[in-house]
C-alpha cells in the first residue's frame, strides 16, 4: 500500500519514512520545505536503498493536493505531519498557525474524501493535556490548550472526532506524541532546527558542540525531584515505529483511535543534561534561569493503551536518545546545510 507522508521531509516525518520503507510500505512525500530540506529525503533514500517520490507543494493549496491524489491513485492512507510547530512563534503569529495547520488538514481531508481514501494518522501532541492534573497521563484526561499551536492540535482533534462520528467508514488515529528527541542510529538523519533551538535537546546539542555558550535551565523551583521540569522523552525511531503500528490498527477499520506515544518515564532537565554529558564525553555548562512562561512542572504518559491496542512499546532509553542525538550533531554540525 502507498502511504502519503505529509511533512515527510521534516524531523519526525523523515524518520517515519525509514520505518515505513523498512516495514515494506511504499511512500510518497509532500512537503513545502518551509521548515525542512530536500536533503533529508536523499539521506533516507541512501539509508534504505529505496526511492522516495517527492512532491513540493503547500498542502493548503487545494488544486495541488487534488493533482497529488490524481498522480498517485494508489494512496491508501495519509500520515499527516505537515504543520508549523513552534509554541513561542505561534503566540506571536497566531493567524499564520491557525491558517496553515487548519487549512492544510482540512484540504487533505476534503481531497481524501473525494478520492475515497479513508485512513488518516494525525500528529497530535501531549500539549493537548495542557497543565495535567495528575501524571502519568491517560488518554481520557481532560484536554486544554495554552497557546495557538496547542489550540490547532485541539481543534483538529475535535474536527477529526466529529468527522469519524459522522462517517463510520473513516479511520483516524490521533497520536499524542510526548517529547521526541534523538536521531536515526546511523547519524545520517536527525533534527535540524532553524536558528537557536527552542527545545531542550537540540539546545543542549549545540552547547555540547560549542556553538552555544551554556544551557539556560528554565526554573529550578518546580515541584519535581530536582526542581527542574520533567518530561517524557521518546526516541524518534520509537515514535516512527508507532506510526507503522497505527497504520495496522487503521487497517482493522477501527474508526477513531486516540493514543499516547510516550515511554511512561519522566526525566528532568538535569537528568537529560547529565545523560547528554555521558554521551558526548565532556561537561556541559548551564545556568539556572527563571521559569519559562507557559511551562508545566511534569508531563509523562501512561503508555498502556499503545501497548495493549497497538502492540507497541518504546525500546530506546535516555542514554541512546542522547547518544544518537550527539552522533547526528557531531557528524552534521551544519545539519543538512542550506535550507
List active site positions: 149
- CB of 125: closest distance to ligand NAD in angstroms? 3
295 binds ligand WQD (CB under 6 A): yes
Stretch that binds ligand WQD, among 12-20, 193-201, 276-284, 316-324 (CB under 6 A): 193-201
Query: Among ligand NAD, ligand WQD, none, what does residue 31 contact (CB within 5–8 Å per kind)?
Result: ligand NAD
Contacts to ligand NAD by CB under 6 A: 7, 9-13, 31-36, 58-60, 81-85, 100, 104, 123, 125, 177, 179-180
216 binds ligand WQD (CB under 6 A): yes
144 binds ligand WQD (CB under 6 A): no
CA distances from 132 to 144, 146, 162, 219 (A): 9, 12, 24, 18
In this complex, which beta carbon is closest to ligand WQD, that of residue 199 or of residue 330?
199
Q: What angle do CA 83, 86, 91 make, to 5 degrees?
A: 110
The Cα 275–Cα 283 span in angstroms is 10
CB 23 within 8 A of CB 243: no
Q: What angle do CA 118, 123, 127 make, to 5 degrees?
A: 140
Q: Which of 101, 94, 92 is nearest to 60 (CA)?
A: 101
In this complex, which beta carbon is closest to ligand NAD, that of residue 104 or of residue 268?
104
In this complex, which beta carbon is closest to ligand NAD, that of residue 119 or of residue 124?
124
One residue of 43, 80, 184, 231 binding ligand WQD per CB under 6 A: 231
Query: Among ligand NAD, ligand WQD, none, what does residue 269 contact (CB within 5–8 Å per kind)?
Result: ligand WQD
193 burial via Cβ count (<10 Å: 0-12, 13-18, 19+): middle
218 binds ligand WQD (CB under 6 A): yes
The Cα 170–Cα 187 span in angstroms is 37
- CB of 80: closest distance to ligand NAD in angstroms? 7
Cell of 36: 525542512
Q: Name residues whose C-beta falls within 8 Å of residue 113's C-beta, 6 or more positions apart in sequence.
A: none
48 binds ligand WQD (CB under 6 A): no
* HEC profile of 213-282: CCEEEECCCCCCCCCCCEECEEEHHHHHHHHHHHHHHHCCCCCEEEEEECCCCCEEHHHHHHHHHHHHCC
In this complex, which beta carbon is closest to ligand WQD, that of residue 81 or of residue 336?
81
One residue of 107, 125, 152, 260 binding ligand WQD per CB under 6 A: 125
List the x/- string, 94-123, binding to ligand WQD by CB under 6 A: ------------------------------
CA distances from 138 to 135, 259, 294, 309 (A): 8, 9, 21, 14
Interaction site with ligand WQD (CB under 6 A): 85, 87, 125, 127, 179, 198-200, 203, 216-218, 229, 231, 269, 292, 295
Amino acid at each position: 500500500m502507498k502511504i502519503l507522508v505529509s511533512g515527510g521531509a521534516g524531523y519526525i516525518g523523515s524518520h517515519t519514512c525509514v520505518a515505513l520503507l523498512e516495514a515494506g510500505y511504499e511512500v510518497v512525500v509532500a512537503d513545502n520545505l518551509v521548515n525542512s530540506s530536500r536533503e533529508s529525503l536523499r539521506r533516507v533514500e541512501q539509508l534504505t536503498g529505496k526511492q522516495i517520490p517527492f512532491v513540493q507543494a503547500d498542502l493548503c493549496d487545494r488544486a495541488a493536493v487534488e493533482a497529488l491524489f490524481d498522480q498517485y491513485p494508489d494512496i491508501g492512507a495519509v500520515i499527516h505531519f505537515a504543520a508549523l510547530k513552534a509554541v513561542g512563534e505561534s503566540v506571536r503569529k497566531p493567524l499564520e498557525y491557525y491558517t496553515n495547520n487548519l487549512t492544510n488538514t482540512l484540504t487533505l481531508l476534503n481531497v481524501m474524501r473525494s478520492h475515497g481514501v479513508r485512513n488518516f494518522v494525525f500528529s497530535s501532541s501531549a500539549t493537548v493535556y495542557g497543565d495535567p492534573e495528575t501524571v502519568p497521563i491517560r488518554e481520557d484526561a481532560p484536554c486544554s490548550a495554552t497557546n495557538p499551536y496547542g489550540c490547532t492540535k485541539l481543534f483538529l482533534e475535535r474536527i477529526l472526532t466529529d468527522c469519524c462520528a459522522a462517517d463510520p467508514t473513516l479511520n483516524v488515529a490521533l497520536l499524542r506524541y510526548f517529547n521526541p528527541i534523538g536521531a536515526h542510529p546511523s547519524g545520517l538523519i536527525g533534527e535540524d532546527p532553524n536558528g537557536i533551538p527552542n527545545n531542550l535537546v537540540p539546545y543542549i546539542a549545540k552547547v555540547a558542540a560549542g556553538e552555544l555558550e551554556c544551557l539556560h535551565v528554565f526554573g529550578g523551583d518546580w515541584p519535581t525531584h530536582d526542581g527542574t521540569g520533567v518530561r517524557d522523552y521518546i526516541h524518534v525511531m520509537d515514535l516512527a515505529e508507532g506510526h507503522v503500528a497505527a497504520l495496522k490498527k487503521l487497517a482493522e477499520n477501527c474508526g477513531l483511535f486516540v493514543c499516547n506515544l510516550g515511554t511512561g518515564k519522566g526525566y528532568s532537565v538535569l537528568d537529560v543534561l547529565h545523560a547528554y554529558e555521558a554521551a558526548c564525553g565532556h561537561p556541559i555548562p548551564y545556568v539556572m534561569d527563571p521559569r519559562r512562561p507557559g511551562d508545566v512542572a511534569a508531563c509523562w504518559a501512561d503508555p498502556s493503551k499503545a501497548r495493549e491496542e497497538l502492540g507497541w512499546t518504546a525500546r530506546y532509553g535516555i542514554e541512546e536518545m542522547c547518544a544518537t542525538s550527539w552522533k547526528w550533531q557531531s557528524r552534521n554540525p551544519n545539519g543538512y546545510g542550506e535550507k
